[in-house]
Amino acid sequence: MKDYIKIDEWKIIEDGFNSAHNKISESIFSLGNGRMGQRANFEEAYSGETLQGNYVAGVYYNDKTRVGWWKNGYPEYFSKVLNAANWVGIDVAIDGEQLDLAKCAVSNFRRELNMKEGYLKRNFTAKNNSGKQVEVEAIRFCSMADDEAGAIKYTITPLNFDGALTVTPFIDGDVVNQDANYDEKFWDEVAKGCDDNDCYIQMRTKKTGFDVATGMQFSILQNGQAIETAHEIIQKEKYIGAKITLQAQKGQPITVFKYAANLSSQNHKVEDLIINLKATLDRVSKKGFDTMLAEQAAAWEEKWKHNDIIIEGDPSAQQAIRFNIFQLNQTYTGEDDRLNIGPKGFTGEKYGGVTYWDTEAYCVPFYLSTAEQKVTKNLLLYRYKQLEQAYQNAGMLGFGNGAALYPMVSINGIECHNEWEITFEELHRNGAIAYAIFNYVRYTGDADYLVDYGLEVLIGIARFWRYRVSWSAEKEKYVMLGITGPNEYENNINNNWYTNTLATWCMQYAMEVMEKVKAIDADKYAKLIAKLNFNEEQETGKFTHIIDNMYYPYDERNQVFLQQDGYLDKEQILVKDLPASDRPLNQKWSWDRILRSCFIKQADVLQGIYFFEDKYDIDTIRRNFDFYEPRTVHESSLSPCLHAILAAKLGDEARAYEFYLRTARLDLDDYNNDTEDGCHITSMAGTWMAVVEGFGGMRMRDDKLSFKPFLPGKWASFSFHVGFRDSLLNVRVSKEQIAIKNLSGIETTVLVHDKTYLVKANSEVVI
């Protein structure tokens, strides 16, 4: 765990340069606008430890899978949102000596991520080998208002010399992915060029054939005056820069404004890319840096209106929750149903920027409450549009007849995980996708979604489970063999309680939705089942038989649901009895030792209890929590947040807060020693859930929002925003009261500790 980020309620601050933390800071200070994003790499050259990262959403490469002996069913490739052209670079040389913080004496270093207004600022003083000193301030952002554009204002002031200063703003497409399976370069250059102060490169991804045009336009101020200077065009393979040599005067600042844009063939015709790129650059540079920055602040003000959480009395918790909300909004804006949320967002390469079940199980609740309805709808449509591939994936397992298996890891709908033995059998993701549909419709009331899209997905998923279970003559029950549950520290197990429970729930829900759709639009229903060749009587008959005869492992002695068959054959040791030196297990123990131990990576049975909480009485929840949590090592960042919610439900406020602390500052404090790979974006949604569903006790009950809040002991108060069916509520919990303010013109009814309250338009209810 690190403790170098300064506490501030609206900013993330690093004071002083510690090169050993650079890769961590590059992750933490990342920028994004849903369409593109980047790690906080320096503008000027840096020869120290760094992970260069610029990403364009939806632009990926299919990297051939790397395995030992090939087996049928292995994915052909691992898709990754690849490292794209670097548009932030500005080389600086002082009398011919390159400015490189790894080779200078650095002082007054400070990085600030301004979360209120959405920009990154960096200041430092550097003294080079010949004793020349400059002061630098760099401000940059990825524009929320113009999501294909970004801008940089880079100011250098000579402190103790007059002399030649060269600045070279550039675009560098000669980049690699650190995680490339075969050390290949993923891009080919298509074109590059420069006119006046515009330079661009167009590149194409190998195999997948996405074209991305990245360009820049620059202007220079010296001592506050715009100057026109000649520049020399520097061209190398996949690189173009404009070198400008200036006579610098001591104390007189030189400012480079660099406007940049990234346009991809996903959104533009290939033949129009360069024309549209230039038009974008012209448009944003005409606006100018200050206007763009003001628009950025306005866009973020609008976001914060809908999703700020205010914590009084604990600045560190305040900073942390805003950081999580900020990063989630930088990652996904919901404008485009072809995009999704990679577990590391735009902050690193790990997990390839592709989609996992994290989206449906963890991110959907966040976006449902904090963004317009269309944002979550687009996440659902993303899967709807990949239904064909889900049929193909099921086909590879031997199931036809309209069975759909969504992938565990994918960007284009085709399964592409790198780790066969774990992810292949994590079939539970199919259920999370059905659960997200249920969650969306329950929250928004948008039953039309079921008619037009949802039911089609649900039938495919239900059919998959129907074929994937098998009849055990011995048990006289349906069983499910060869599974990995959410707990990835058990592979190829039989009868994972969570997966069996989810599978029958999916079949049940699909049948309920059939009835609903029939009632809403019988004609559309008839067309759909004809299209799917769905034999209603026979297939629902089969679903019902499975639902009625499914086997759920249970342990009578402890009165708990059993994670899987044979779980109790394992030596039962508790996490508290593990030596600290053995943790984290995934770094200290062999895989064999992990698999035969009883230790649980993340919520598994408890994931099911969280999803289907209403089915279980409080004693059942408590017994399962008390049994499984002490065996859980929480080595997935998705784990503590669910435990926080369940502990809150059980009235264990202290533990709820303790679990919350384990996720809230996970990246800011580099809790798991892995933030340098990127931030844990999807688990940030879990942190939000821990506050709103945990401390706020928010649930959906009978078509209404229900709250059962409590105030963590250390806090003076907390408040959060939730949007619900066109109304926007602010819920504030303090020692004295719970206040629910309706910030919209639409009245709504809520439940607080099971009592009903009408919250009129633009008014407040105080309890």
Would you state the structure tokens that stand for residue 271, as one six-digit string? 């033949």
Selected binder of ligand BGC within 154, 326, 356, 367 (CB under 6 A): 356
**Do 430 and 391 touch, CB atoms closer than 8 A?**
no
**Do 389 and 447 touch, CB atoms closer than 8 A?**
no
601 is in an annotated binding site: yes
Which range of residues in 262-270, 356-364, 446-454, 590-598 is near ligand BGC by CB under 6 A? 356-364
* Cβ-based nearer residue to ligand BGC, 82 or 679: 679
Which range of residues in 22-30, 158-166, 349-357, 626-634 is near ligand BGC by CB under 6 A? 349-357
Q: Where are the beta strands (DSSP E) in 670-712?
A: 699-701, 704-707
Distance of closest approach, residue 335 Cβ to ligand BGC, in angstroms? 23
Distance of closest approach, residue 639 Cβ to ligand BGC, in angstroms? 8
Closest CA to 394 of 407, 375, 381: 407
CA atoms within 13 A of residue 81's CA, in its CB half-sphere: 31
* Cβ-based nearer residue to ligand BGC, 361 or 390: 361
Would you state the structure tokens that stand for residue 18, as one six-digit string? 């510690």
Closest CA to 691 of 640, 735, 741, 619: 640
Which range of residues in 263-271, 353-361, 467-475, 731-739 is near ligand BGC by CB under 6 A? 353-361
Distance of closest approach, residue 352 Cβ to ligand BGC, in angstroms? 10
Neighbour count for residue 725 (Cβ, 10 Å): 15
Please identify the residue of the shown chain whose CB is closest to the bound ligand BGC. 343
Cis before 486? omega within 30:
no
Q: Following CA atoms 308, 313, 108, 676 in sequence, which dihedral angle do they give, to the nearest 10 degrees? A: -60
Which range of residues in 113-121, 351-359, 663-671, 745-753 is near ligand BGC by CB under 6 A? 351-359
The per-residue DSSP string of 243-305 comes to EEEEEE-TT--EEEEEEEEEEETTTS-GGGHHHHHHHHHHHHHHH-HHHHHHHHHHHHHHHHH
Round to whole Å and give the CA distance between 188 and 256.
29
Regarding 342 and contact with ligand BGC (CB under 6 A), the answer is no
The per-residue DSSP string of 65-107 comes to P--SS--TT--SEEEEE----B---EEEEETTEEP-TTSSEEE
Regarding 486 and contact with ligand BGC (CB under 6 A), the answer is yes
Selected binder of ligand BGC within 147, 211, 488, 667 (CB under 6 A): 488
* Cβ-based nearer residue to ligand BGC, 357 or 367: 357
* Cβ-based nearer residue to ligand BGC, 486 or 709: 486
* Cβ-based nearer residue to ligand BGC, 486 or 608: 486
Which element (helix H / strand E) includes 26?
Answer: helix 22-28
Distance of closest approach, residue 396 Cβ to ligand BGC, in angstroms? 21
> What amino acid occupies position 752?
V
Please state the separation of Cα 751 from the chain's center in Å.
Answer: 31
Round to whole Å and give the CA distance between 350 and 637.
14
Regarding 636 and contact with ligand BGC (CB under 6 A), the answer is yes
Regarding 638 and contact with ligand BGC (CB under 6 A), the answer is yes
357 is in an annotated binding site: yes
**Do 266 and 210 touch, CB atoms closer than 8 A?**
yes
Round to whole Å and give the CA distance between 60 and 209.
9
- Give me the catalytic one of 488, 490, 629, 676: 488
* Cβ-based nearer residue to ligand BGC, 319 or 636: 636
Regarding 351 and contact with ligand BGC (CB under 6 A), the answer is yes
* Distant-in-sequence, close-in-space partners of 219: CB < 8 Å, separation ≥ 6: 197, 226, 256, 257, 285
* 488 in catalytic set: yes
Neighbour count for residue 767 (Cβ, 10 Å): 13
Regarding 670 and contact with ligand BGC (CB under 6 A), the answer is no
How is residue 692 annotated by DSSP? I
Regarding 358 and contact with ligand BGC (CB under 6 A), the answer is yes
Regarding 489 and contact with ligand BGC (CB under 6 A), the answer is no
Round to whole Å and give the CA distance between 200 and 213.
7
* Cβ-based nearer residue to ligand BGC, 529 or 633: 633
Distance of closest approach, residue 343 Cβ to ligand BGC, in angstroms? 4
Distance of closest approach, residue 28 Cβ to ligand BGC, in angstroms? 18
Regarding 602 and contact with ligand BGC (CB under 6 A), the answer is yes
* Cβ-based nearer residue to ligand BGC, 87 or 356: 356
* Cβ-based nearer residue to ligand BGC, 351 or 625: 351
Which range of residues in 91-99, 286-294, 355-363, 384-392 is near ligand BGC by CB under 6 A? 355-363
Selected binder of ligand BGC within 186, 200, 257, 357 (CB under 6 A): 357
Regarding 77 and contact with ligand BGC (CB under 6 A), the answer is no
Q: Checking DSSP bridges between strand 704-707 and strand 748-752, what pairing results, if any?
A: parallel
Which range of residues in 180-188, 189-197, 350-358, 501-509 is near ligand BGC by CB under 6 A? 350-358
Closest CA to 132 of 166, 170, 83, 175: 166
Closest CA to 341 of 329, 181, 385: 329
Q: What is the largest CA-CA distance in the chain?
A: 89
Would you state the structure tokens that stand for residue 187, as one six-digit string? 């891009």
Regarding 146 and contact with ligand BGC (CB under 6 A), the answer is no
Reduced to 3 states (helix: H, G, I; strand: E, B; else coil), residue 736 is: coil
Please state the separation of Cα 218 from the chain's center in Å.
Answer: 32
Angle, CA of 185, 415 and 340, to the nearest 5°: 80
Round to whole Å and give the CA distance between 234 and 241.
5
**Do 309 and 324 touch, CB atoms closer than 8 A?**
no
Point out which residues pair with 431 in neighbouring strands. none
Distance of closest approach, residue 337 Cβ to ligand BGC, in angstroms? 21
Using CB under 6 A as the binding criterion, the count of chain residues that bind ligand BGC stands at 12
Regarding 166 and contact with ligand BGC (CB under 6 A), the answer is no
Distance of closest approach, residue 357 Cβ to ligand BGC, in angstroms? 6
Would you state the structure tokens that stand for residue 72, as one six-digit string? 């049928």
Neighbour count for residue 399 (Cβ, 10 Å): 18
Distance of closest approach, residue 688 Cβ to ligand BGC, in angstroms? 16
* Cβ-based nearer residue to ligand BGC, 351 or 391: 351
* Cβ-based nearer residue to ligand BGC, 133 or 597: 597
Regarding 682 and contact with ligand BGC (CB under 6 A), the answer is yes
Distance of closest approach, residue 356 Cβ to ligand BGC, in angstroms? 4
Distance of closest approach, residue 630 Cβ to ligand BGC, in angstroms? 19
* Cβ-based nearer residue to ligand BGC, 289 or 351: 351
Which range of residues in 354-362, 379-387, 559-567, 577-585 is near ligand BGC by CB under 6 A? 354-362
Distance of closest approach, residue 401 Cβ to ligand BGC, in angstroms? 29
386 is in an annotated binding site: no
Strand order in the sheet with 31-32: 31-32, 36-38, 54-56
Selected binder of ligand BGC within 53, 150, 343, 348 (CB under 6 A): 343
> What amino acid occupies position 114?
N
| Residue stretches of the annotated binding site | 357-358, 601-602
Residues marked active site are found at: 488
| Residue stretches of the annotated binding site for substrate | 357-358, 601-602
Give contact residues for ligand BGC (rule: CB under 6 A). Answer: 343, 351, 356-358, 486, 488, 601-602, 636, 638, 682
